[in-house]
Amino acid sequence: MPPYRVLLQRDLPVPMTDGVTLLADRYVPVGAVRPPTVLVRSPYGRRGVFGLAFGRAFARRGFQVVLQSCRGGFGSGGLLDPLGDEHEDGLATLAWLRGQPWYGGSLAMHGPSYLGYAQWAIAPFAGPDLKAMATSVTASQFRDAAYVGGAFALESSLIWTTLTASMDTRFGGAGALLAPRRTRRAALSGRPLGELDVLSAGRGLPFFQDLLAHHADPAAYWGRRDFSASVGEVEAAVTMVGGWYDVFLPWQVKDYTTMRAAGRRPYLTIGPWYHADIRHGRVANADALAWFKAHLLGDPSGLRAQPVRLYVTGAGEWRDYPDWPVPGMREQRWHLQPGLALSTGNPREGDPDRYRYDPAHPTPVLGGPVLLGNSEPRDNRRLEARRDVLVYTGPELREDTDMIGPVSADLYLRSSTEHADVVVRVCDVHPDGASYNVCEGVRRLSPGAPPAGSDGIRRVQVDLWPVGHRFRRGHRIRLHVAGGAYPRIARNLGTGEPLGTGRTMVAADHEVFHDPAHPSAVVLPLVRGRSVGR
């Protein structure tokens, strides 16, 4: 069928339960009889590229699209309370939809990042007419991405709050482009975190201050903003698109496994993308169109046979699998060894390795997931030359080695301070010596968490980003252990002072043990054999 001609109705008023009115645009496929509705709820506006990508693109294919601005922006009333109003406002929007004479009785939702979170905020409670969801680079809760490993994701949090502060202004587009640069300049200023919003955005940002204030005890603040507990209750068909370098990937994968544990059958696609990568947007739209045609129009011809599709970096190929974790995956422990070696053999006797982390001169980061900007792998040799980074390197691989699945580290550590961060990173060392980051993770330590033995040694377990990567024959697997990843992660001052106001800095001396009694290791997901390639 040729594409439909599209009629646009602008600024439809949608009443909320508290009397606030939100505005929505409706894209109508002319001639379609009671077409299914695709709801997109966005804090980033509803015109321009959003109208083209989410409105016209789907209306031309026979869906009517309601593209709504969240409260507090682009003509919608009220004040934006990030993440806090999407449950109530989303359900009120559904009630309004069902009262419209043009509503055809079936519904889908679509959108990335915050737009995807807005879907999870109402999906378990939406009712049987919600047939399908298409989510990308998002998760059902953003708390763990803000406080990654218990640390604070400074750069991404400040970027987003700076970005949203300028979106609904005359110079909103320019503000969005400048947000990463202004944020990095502010983050590197060395000022207390509570002052960085003014440096970055020119004014105080309430949500950024809330993030700082609720770092130590996040439960109360995040309770009404966390929908992960109800993911398994979602009956709509869900498809997810993520990126190996996306800030939300670990929690998006957790949403997938939660749905699988509840007996659901979601689809999952993970590509070589970062959060702001336009490439995943094209894939996500195509994926959503096929998904909606299958579940709202009864045409499954565009669906693939296997629900999980992964791009294996290093191999440069797509593969399809029946599930995640992929069948046949087994955990393989690569033990830290004397002489800064790394191997699958049992740990040998040896003295601990030592490094000193000084928050006045914090360990920087090269690459790694961040909200805006290119997060693709970078050569980490300049970072590895620093004295505050331990670098463990394995032997040359005799064959191509595929690691696909969750990654973790199991370290035995003693520190001179009770407050410290442990950053762990896996790199792929090429034959020319270039060392490219593959995945990483962080764990913030505090008194008693994790507990120390009588000798002061703590067993520290760190969750890293999941991977789908081939380490080629002749390459080496490398592991970093450090005390920071600044400014992507806020520096740990070593004192336990409040996150927003702390100023006093204490350097920390760390010892990493690796002997038979303390078998420190990185746990990698080895996969032998191959599934269906593309």
Sheet strands (E) in 214-340: 237-245, 267-274, 308-312, 317-321, 330-337
pTM of structure: 0.96
249/138 Cα distance (integer angstroms): 7
pLDDT of residue 476: 98
Give the model's pLDDT for residue 534. 41
Q: In sequence order, what are the beta bridge partners of 404?
A: 468
The Cα–Cα gap between 390 and 411 comes to 13
**Per-residue model confidence as pLDDT tens for the chain (534 residues):** 679 999 999 999 999 999 999 999 999 999 999 999 999 999 999 999 989 999 999 999 999 999 999 999 999 999 989 999 999 999 999 999 999 999 999 999 999 999 999 999 999 999 999 999 999 999 999 999 999 999 999 999 999 999 888 765 544 444 555 677 888 899 899 899 999 999 999 999 999 999 999 988 778 899 999 999 999 999 999 999 999 999 999 999 999 999 999 999 999 999 999 999 999 999 999 999 999 999 999 999 999 999 999 999 999 999 999 999 999 999 999 999 999 999 999 999 999 999 999 999 999 999 999 998 889 999 999 999 999 999 999 999 999 999 999 999 999 999 999 999 999 999 999 999 999 999 999 999 999 999 999 999 999 999 999 999 999 999 999 999 999 999 999 999 999 999 999 999 999 999 999 999 999 999 999 999 654 334
469: β partners: 313, 403
User: What integer pLDDT is reported at residue 177 of this predicted model?
Assistant: 59
The residue among 100, 160, 525, 168 whose CA lies nearest residue 312 is 525
Residue 244: predicted pLDDT: 98
Cβ atoms of residues 157 and 247 within 8 Å:
no
pLDDT tens for residues 97-156? Answer: 999 999 999 999 999 999 999 999 999 999 999 999 999 999 999 999 999 999 999 999
Q: Give me the phi and psi of 357, to 5 degrees please.
A: -105, 125
H or E element: which one contains 203? none
Neighbours of 281 (CB within 10 A): 17
pLDDT given for residue 220 in this prediction: 82
Which token pair is 311?
A: 């791009």
Residue with tokens 């200023």, as numbered in its chain: 189
Element (H, E) at 100: none
The residue whose two tokens read 């894939």 is: 283
Share of the chain above pLDDT 90, in %: 91
